[in-house]
Amino acid sequence: MEHEFLVDNEIVKVSIEEKQGKYTIGVDDHKYIADIKSLSPSIISINIQDRIYRVIIERGKDGFYVQCRGDQYFIQDIDQDEGDIQSSEEKAREDMLKIKATMPGKVIKIEVSEKEEVSVGQTLAIVEAMKMENEIKSSIDGTVKKIIASAGDLVDSDKPIMELEEKE
């Protein structure tokens, strides 16, 4: 089965096929053979060519927050209707500017300050969840608009830790 998803404002075609406990995953024009195991209701382990990825998935109001190897993504299932794609892209862009934890936890450290310029992949905050420290990284180049949480605060996936502004 094939679906189209909006991943951080880019349309991605994904197909998944299961045979005898192994999965063939197609992402755009690439195919991967994977072994997928559920570790908890919100964490899965994916083994692709002997590389193991721990993926944290949290449901949001309009999609899913996914964190893998320190990178965070917002994913939405989209319709083929152009109007829906447009509004989904705008919503995804808006959500990318609000930096949230992927699961409930405690802010250990805020790595940036307000008005600081940030780049893609830069660590913004560290949140401890399920006895593990998770780096929350920027998915855009921009500026820290507002820091909402501070070290020691308890956070969940509904409320932003900070807000960013896009670089023009």
Q: Per-residue pLDDT for the chain (168 aa), expressed as one digit of tens each?
A: 677 777 777 888 888 888 877 888 888 888 989 888 888 778 888 998 889 988 888 877 777 888 888 788 888 766 544 445 445 556 556 666 888 887 788 999 999 999 999 998 899 999 998 788 888 888 788 999 999 999 999 998 778 899 999 887
**Rounded-to-integer distance, Cα 67 and Cα 60, Å:** 13
Is 102 in contact with 134 (CB distance < 8 Å)? yes
Tell which residue, 148, 151, 112, 105, has the closest CA to residue 128.
Answer: 105
Full set of structural domains in the chain with CATH:
2-97 (no CATH), 99-166 (2.40.50.100)
The predicted model scores a pTM of 0.52
